[in-house]
Amino acid sequence: MYNGETWDMVYMKHLHDAPWMSDECINLYSRIIDKYLPSNLSTLRILDYGSGSGKLTYRLKEKGASVDFAEISQYMIDWLKQEYRNCGVNIYKVEYPQQLSKVASYDIVLAWMFFCNVSPDFWQIFLRGFYEIMNSGAFLIIGGWDEEDPVNIKNNFVIPFTAHKAWSINQLVNYIGGKFEIINNEKILISHPFYEDPRVFRCYKLKK
Which residue from 36, 58, 71, 203 is in contact with ligand SAM, where contact means CB under 6 A? 71
Angle between helices 74-83 and 4-14 (to 10 degrees): 50
User: Among residues 44 and 70, whose Cβ is nearest to ligand SAM?
Assistant: 70
Nearest distance from residue 20's CB to ligand SAM, in Å?
4
- Is residue 95 at the binding interface for ligand SAM, with CB under 6 A as the rule? yes
Nearest distance from residue 73's CB to ligand SAM, in Å?
4
The count of other CB atoms within 10 Å of the CB of residue 164 is: 15
The residue range among 113-121, 127-135, 145-153, 182-190 that interacts with ligand SAM, by the rule CB under 6 A, is: 113-121
- Is residue 76 at the binding interface for ligand SAM, with CB under 6 A as the rule? yes
Neighbouring C-alpha atoms within 13 Å toward the C-beta of 35: 14
Q: Are 187 and 128 in contact (CB under 8 A)?
A: no
Query: How far is Cα 67 from Cα 118, in angstroms, rounded to an integer?
Result: 23
Which residue from 44, 45, 46, 50 is in contact with ligand SAM, where contact means CB under 6 A? 50
Q: How far apart are the first and last CA of the chain?
A: 26
Q: Are 65 and 39 in contact (CB under 8 A)?
A: no
- Is residue 89 at the binding interface for ligand SAM, with CB under 6 A as the rule? no
Task: State the amino acid at position 167 in one-letter form.
Answer: W
Q: Are 60 and 67 in contact (CB under 8 A)?
A: yes
- Is residue 114 at the binding interface for ligand SAM, with CB under 6 A as the rule? yes
- Is residue 66 at the binding interface for ligand SAM, with CB under 6 A as the rule? no
- Is residue 113 at the binding interface for ligand SAM, with CB under 6 A as the rule? yes
User: Among residues 121 and 178, whose Cβ is nearest to ligand SAM?
Assistant: 121
Query: How far is Cα 22 from Cα 194, in angstroms, rounded to an integer?
Result: 10
Task: State the amino acid at position 201 in one-letter form.
Answer: F
The residue range among 32-40, 59-67, 68-76, 170-178 that interacts with ligand SAM, by the rule CB under 6 A, is: 68-76
**Contact residues: ligand SAM, CB under 6 A:** 7, 20, 50-53, 56, 70-73, 76, 94-95, 112-114, 117
